[in-house]
Amino acid sequence: MDSRIPTERAAVLIVGGSIVGASAALFLAARGITPVLVEKHTAVSTRLRAKLFYPRTMEAYRSVGVDQDVYAVQHSVPPADHAAVVTSLAGPEVRRWRLPAAEDFGDVSPCPSALVKQADVEEVVRAHARARGADLRFGHRFLRLGRHEDHVVAHVLDAAGKPYTVQADYLLAADGNSSAIREALGIGRSGSAVVSHVMEIGFTADLREVLDGRRLALAWTDAPERAFLSWNTAHDRGTVSVTYDPAAVDPAIAFDTERCRDVVSRALGLPASRFTVTGTRPWRMGGWVADSYRAGRVFLLGDAVHVTPPTGGFGANTGIQDAWNLTAKLVSVLRGDAGPRLLDDYEPERHAVGALTVEQALLRLDNRAEASAGSRPLLSEAAVAIGYRYRMSDVDADRGLPQADEPGRWRGEPGTRLPHTFLTGAYDGASTLDLVRDGRHLLLAGPEGHHWARAARAVDPRGAFLDVALLPRRADAGTLPAADLCGIGDHGAVLVRPDHVIAWRATQAAPDTTTALSEATRRVLRPTR
């Protein structure tokens, strides 16, 4: 290493500052780990990307105090919670439906979905990450990586083009679907690199009169090209996307100025005098999962390891959940609460979810679910985005359970998210999920679980890593008691990870609660000693 090039030190370096990388920085910083993030772009992308964020994503943001700022953005713009097939945007609607993400999830989550532009969410997340101390460096370009047994070294150019290096314990690669880090590591992909070729045509237009107060977030035309239309919340800019066959046409020739103007005119139902074409961008719609999510101390997340078609709106949400899962583990390891072997669980947990999500997004593409003989059945959006289950390799009881189900059907099975209900008594108004705090594990016991509370103090006498809470006996009228939702009754307990996932469950009192809990925490935290 050139001694003339300055070297910095960081516990975690994040490469990529879009929604996934920025969320990872926020989740770490909110729990006392100061990450360094480098992103080659200087500002948030103005491209129209994700528009909806499911409740499980908003629960993660709720845990770090960001959810209300995201909802505030949503409340500041016209509501847009429907999609439609139209003859043209200005013409009659053929069919309209409410976006699945906009449905009422109040019975399974304290958080509604947020129907907000990704760019707006990124602004909120970046601001909170900075406020928590994250070192965010935009305009800094990652060049290459050196890997060692006990650290990594990243070579970076700063905004002025001057080189420096960052030596980090761990590197998180959130550098997108063409990830240079994944390619450098030689990690392959499984699935369809190209499902279809798409030409995205940008335009500016005043769409307020065209939309006429309709709560549309997006639309498709029914003929002749089945164009996909998307627009911003100001209703003055958007895109029309159409597929093409590169074997039959040269896109540079086929999509000349006249053709683009014609495509946009027919999709909008407006004369050319009412809009301006601003440019084109060809892209390839894919559906694939990387063969590995990790190489030593380098972890990949977001589009660097899975790419889904936009159907279902799963892409950004899945990436944010990668960050939520991984950062929870990193915090436990870096604090010394857990051994480094805990990080071995990231790949099997998230790879399985990534594969399921890509499959489900592909099933939704062009409504061709019936053409997918031999694959899994089409699941609801709630099951895919909220109700998935991590397979716990050391838990016998998880065998035979589905990988994903309607979230309201889970009853505290290990590997599933802690069931939500609003609590009474000492926790009046709090969700069960709110009891998991500050990146710590939680022992949640039934109302007669005082023996579990005593065991927790014996296992963790200084309260270093384990919080304890006893669920109230009462529930609101018509609501299942929280202990029954968790499958533990009055005398059992669950051990909940910082990412809200149940890692272990005792459905009743154990003969020796201290020994049982000690063995459970040892399996979950994988200490080196």
Residue 358 lies in a domain: no
Is residue 528 within 8 A of residue 340, CB to CB? The reply is: yes
pLDDT value of position 370: 39
425 and 279 part of one domain: no
220 and 71 part of one domain: no
176 and 203 part of one domain: no
27 and 136 part of one domain: yes
pLDDT value of position 234: 85
Is residue 445 within 8 A of residue 468, CB to CB? The reply is: yes
End residue of a domain, out of 266, 287, 308:
287
The CATH number covering residue 497 comes to: 3.40.30.120
The CATH number covering residue 242 comes to: 3.30.9.10
The tokens of 109 are what? 């989550």
pLDDT value of position 45: 74
The CATH number covering residue 69 comes to: 3.50.50.60
Residue 392 lies in a domain: no
Residue 512 lies in a domain: yes
The tokens of 68 are what? 């209300």
Other CB atoms within 10 A of residue 317 CB: 28
180 and 228 part of one domain: no
45 and 147 part of one domain: yes
End residue of a domain, out of 331, 352, 373:
352
Helices within 212-314 (DSSP H only):
251-254, 257-268
Is residue 504 within 8 A of residue 395, CB to CB? The reply is: yes
Instruction: Please give the helix or strand (H or E) that residue 133 lies within, else none.
Output: none
Number of structural domains found in the chain: 3
The tokens of 305 are what? 């390891």
End residue of a domain, out of 317, 332, 352:
352
The tokens of 485 are what? 């939702």
297 and 439 part of one domain: no
pLDDT value of position 323: 98
Residue 15 lies in a domain: yes
201 and 296 part of one domain: no
Residue 326 lies in a domain: yes
At a CB cut-off of 8 Å and minimum separation 6, what does 55 contact?
Answer: 105, 108, 109, 111, 112, 113, 385, 386
Query: From residue 146, how far is each of 153, 185, 403 by CA, in Å?
Result: 5, 11, 37
Residue 324 lies in a domain: yes
176 and 201 part of one domain: no
430 and 500 part of one domain: yes
* 392 vs 399: CA distance, rounded Å: 9
Tell me the pTM: 0.94
E strand segments, 103-247: 135-138, 141-147, 152-157, 163-173, 189-205, 216-221, 228-231, 237-244
209 and 326 part of one domain: no
Domain limits for position 237: 196-287
Query: From residue 62, how far is each of 56, 117, 153, 278, 454 by CA, in Å?
Result: 10, 18, 33, 38, 30
> 346: closest CA among 332, 328, 326, 330?
326
Q: How far apart are the first and last CA of the chain?
A: 35
456 and 495 part of one domain: yes
Residue 398 lies in a domain: no
Helices within 94-235 (DSSP H only):
118-131, 180-185, 208-211
Residue 12 lies in a domain: yes
Other CB atoms within 10 A of residue 331 CB: 24
pLDDT value of position 193: 81
Length of the chain: 529
pLDDT block averages, 10 residues each, the chain of length 529: 83 97 98 97 77 95 97 91 95 93 93 92 97 97 96 97 97 96 96 89 96 93 87 91 92 92 96 96 92 98 94 93 98 96 97 96 67 65 96 68 94 96 88 96 96 96 94 72 93 97 94 95 86
